[in-house]
Structure 1
Amino acid sequence: MLLWHTLATWFRRRYGSRVQKIPLDARASCPNRDGTLSRAGCLFCNAEGSGSGLGALSLAEQWNRWQAKYAATDSDRLFMAYLQAFSNTYGPADRLRRLLDEVKRLPGCMGLAVGTRSDCLDAEKLALLTGCGLPEIWLELGLQSASDATLARLNRGHDAAGVATAVRQAAAAGLQVCLHLMAGLPGEDEADFLASLDWALALPIAGLKLHNTYVPRGTALAALHAAGDYRPLARDEYVDLLCAALPRIPSHIVLHRLQADPAPGELLAPAWAAEKRGIITDIRRALAARGLWQGCRADVPGARPAWYGG
């Protein structure tokens, strides 16, 4: 039994089929890596920028490799491109235009999710995204925290107000915005995370990705952890935090993810962050035991919506 509005549910209700997101590495850069803002990157970001490791291949080659893998196990699904690594709208608008032209030519591609930063968007780029012609478009923006003090501690290079402006402009342009929030960031507690969540819910967003903060190898966060200056959340702490968070999220908000997804070999701590299915099971069981579901303290207090599934 599911107790929240999953991305899989969203797709099945819209298209009557499973939709598989295919991660694509477009060899994007980032103003927080190339020296425009910093060369250090964010505190928690590894040098690969959450990429798939296939950046040496063309987008078409990456697409074909992933599509063949998924189609071999399940022919009844649609496919959507996910530009994941680094900041995919960074740089001149012509780069984004060429990138979108490549994506539209991918065989069987019915949609696009674009990961980027709020300071890598403008009106021209938003117009390119909304006008690309694909039926399903998501703009994924990293907020991580609504606290400017935390953002400075993370070396993000932007403030929360800039994210709010980008969300409003993107939504006004017709894009579905998914914000990323991280729990257990250095210097933050449960109250800080829930304050960021409430801040995000006041914006015109359509989706959320919630992440437990983990320690990737080779990052500034790893150095803090090694020095004893950072302790990631324990597994039960994260489950309790989501039991506090999900009830206040309205039922129409699509939860794209409820846990971090470390790349193979990058996880330093905590070990439980690698147990994706186990964490989801723990969250579901804890919500059920407490009589909670997404939106029960927001717009659906009476009962879990049947369309959550399960």
Structure 2
Amino acid sequence: MQLHELVNTIGQDLHRRYGERVHKLTLHGGFSCPNRDGTIGRGGCTFCNVASFADEETQVKTIQEQLTDRAGEIKRAKKYLAYFQAYTSTYAEVQVLKNMYEEALKAADIVGLCVGTRPDCVPDAVLDLLSEYVAQGYEIWLELGLQTANNDTLKRINRGHDFECYAEITKRARALGIKVCTHLIVGLPRETRTDNLETLQKVLAVGTDGIKLHGLHIVEGSTMAKAWKAGKLEAPELEEYVSIASEMIRSTPSNVVYHRVSSASRRPMLLSPLWCENRWLAMTEIGRALDRDGAQGSLIGDAFQYEKVL
């Protein structure tokens, strides 16, 4: 069986609701991050080097130019979500955000926004702005980088916020009708399978509309890269990641949408694990594990049914 027959994926969820393919178009708004510019810290999170997932050259292009470029790369869709991904895409004056978001929304075939940010960078003015777009009928996703619900780990990786901050902003956003997608990392230093499953349960207890899973990437230019080069840190092997990720998916209610079950990066930026270079490898193996052991929600008696997304 294919992955979307076992997991409630964002692609299938959007297709069911819009009647056709809807793709995300990744944008770079030229934002900074309070954990890098000294507002709350310097150096960023210990795993982070944004160049590993964001094309720095796009910063010199307008939002419209970036949308045109990205749409031209995707031939299978006619509708799109504008995805502000790099750094902290709510970290600016609200009028600046409004201008940028609305430049994206006025583009042809854009049906909504995905806004990637930190839980400690979403003031009420931003929530009010996003809720206005919800009221206008746009698809709005607030993508919050939590990574783990373990506050000790959050301190070790220099996130600069705690789980309680994430829980508060998630509740406030969802109360306004804004969908929340929670980013989680499997393989963080000192964390175990138990930690990953406890994080999932805490996230589900607060409430979330989507989840994005990532295996830990050790990338050049990050603090973790120094530890890895010194032999003090290891990234998860493929088998370990697949085992943990598939158990988390099987422990997730079927109404929660998975935006991603693995992520990819490339050398020379990627140092470890090298299996992350192939974006399909983990997805294929997770699909096999779920086909063998049970689909999304099967560990809680709420197994995902393919018919729900046809």
Verify same fold: TM over 0.5: yes
CA distance in 2, matches of 1:134, 1:40: 39
1:286 and 2:289 aligned: yes
Q: Is the 8 A contact 2:52 2:270 kept in 1?
A: no
How far is 1:96 from its partner? 1.5
User: Residue 24 of structure 1 contacts residue 52 of structure 1 at CA under 8 Å; is this kept in 2?
Assistant: no
Judged with a 3 Å threshold, the aligned counterparts in structure 2 of structure 1 residues 264 and 171 are, in CA distance, closer, same or farther, namely farther
Q: Which amino acid aligns with 2:97?
A: L
**Letter paired with 1:98:** N
For the 8 Å contact 2:50–2:86, the answer to whether it is kept is no
Query: Match for residue 70 of structure 2?
Result: 66
Report the Cα distance in structure 2 between the residues aligned to 1:279 and 1:308, rounded to whole angstroms.
24
For the 8 Å contact 2:52–2:269, the answer to whether it is kept is no
Aligned partner letter, 2:74: Y
TM-score normalised by structure 2 residue count: 0.94
* Displacement of 1:172: 0.6
Residue number in structure 2 paired with 1:79: 80
Q: Is the 8 A contact 1:214 1:270 kept in 2?
A: yes
Match of residue 167, structure 1, among 154, 166, 170: 170
Unaligned ranges ≥5, structure 2: none
**1:247 shift after superposition:** 1.3
Q: Which moved more, 1:25-34 or 1:128-137?
A: 128-137
The answer for the alignment partner of 1:204 in structure 2 is 207
SS of residue in 1 equivalent to 2:45: coil
| Residues 46 and 218 in structure 1, CA contact (< 8 A), matched pair in contact too | yes
Rounded to whole Å, the distance in 2 between the matches of 1:11 and 1:95 is 29
The alpha-carbon deviation at position 39 of structure 1 amounts to 1.9
Matched, 1:91 2:92: yes
Counterpart of 1:306?
Answer: 306
Aligned pairs (5 A) from 1:207-226: 207-226=210-229
TM-score normalised to structure 1 length? 0.94
Residues 229-244 of structure 1 aligned to structure 2 (within 5 Å): 229-244=232-247
CA distance in 1 between counterparts of 2:266 and 2:170 reads 28
Q: Does 1:115 align with 2:116?
A: yes
Amino acid aligned to 1:60: Q
* More helix by percentage: 2
- Aligned equivalents of 1:285, 1:47: Cα separation in 2: 31
C-alpha RMSD of the superposition: 1.6
1:183 to 183, 186, 202: 186
1:297 aligns to what SS in structure 2?
helix
Closer/same/farther in 2, CA of residues 271 and 176 from structure 1, 3 Å limit: same
CA separation of 1:166 and 1:49: change in aligned 2, threshold 3 A: farther
Specify the SS of the correspondent of 1:141: strand
Which of 45, 49, 57 is the matching residue for 1:42? 45
Give the counterpart letter for 1:306 in structure 2: Y
Alignment of 1:119-134 (within 5 A): 119-132=120-133, 133=136
Distance 1:46 1:306 in 2: 37
CA separation of 1:265/1:110 partners in 2, compared to 1, >3 Å: closer, same or farther?
farther
Task: Summarize the Cα distance change of 1:277–1:34 in structure 2 as closer, same or farther, 3 Å threshold.
Answer: same
Q: Using the TM superposition, give the Cα deviation of residue 108 of structure 1 relative to its aligned residue in structure 2, in angstroms.
A: 1.8
For residue 307 of structure 2, what is the amino acid of its counterpart? W
Please state how far the C-alpha of 1:37 moved relative to its aligned partner. 1.1
Residue ranges of structure 1 left out of the alignment (5+ in a row): none
How many angstroms does 1:5 deviate by?
0.5
Matches within 5 A, 1:238-257: 238-257=241-260
Distance in 2 separating the partners of 1:98 and 1:296: 44
Shift of 1:265: 3.9
Q: Secondary structure at the match of 1:48?
A: helix
Report the Cα distance in structure 2 between the residues aligned to 1:203 and 1:81, rounded to whole angstroms: 26
Rate the CA distance shift 1:13–1:309 in 2: closer, same or farther, 3 A: closer
Question: For residue 157 of structure 1, what is the amino acid of its counterpart?
Answer: G
How many residues align? The count is 304
Does the 8 Å contact 2:29/2:84 carry over to 1? yes
